[in-house]
Each structure stands twice: as structure tokens, then as C-alpha cells.
Amino acid sequence: MAKCEICEKSVAHGNKISIARSHVSRRTSRTFRPNLRRVKAIVDGNTKTISVCAKCLRSGKVKRA
């Protein structure tokens, strides 16, 4: 399953809404996936390849190797 190894962000489910008229007429399910990147990072002093979301990369929570 897709999951960020830093913040534990994972797949979320919701509704895709079709607005054919002035009100919501139909709903179908959809999946929101996290924007994951495979990154070589320093974890506990060792270099490991981990899955990290783009938000954690931008905020500097991960030290890249």
C-alpha cells in the first residue's frame, strides 16, 4: 500500500461528483493517492531508500543522501 514513511500519509477515499444539473445528481467513488517519491535518505546514520511524500521533502523533514 502507498504510504509515506515519515508522516504516514496514505491512500484516502472520497466521492467524485458529477454536476450535470444545478444540484449534485450522481456520485462515484474515487481514490486520493499521496504524491510519493523514492528517495535515498539518511535514516539513523545509514543510507536507505524510502518512500516519502512531496510535502515532507519540501518541508525538510528528510535529509537526502
Cell of 1: 500500500
- What is the pTM assigned to this prediction? 0.76
Give the per-residue pLDDT at 17: 80
6-57: pLDDT as tens digits? 999 999 999 888 776 666 677 889 999 999 999 999 999 999 999 999 999 9
Q: Concatenate the DSSP letters of all residues of 10-56 into one string.
A: B-EEEEEEE-SSSS--EEEEEEEPP-EEEEEEEETTEEEEEEEEHHH
Give the per-residue pLDDT at 24: 67
Nearest to 47 by CA among 27, 28, 34, 65: 65
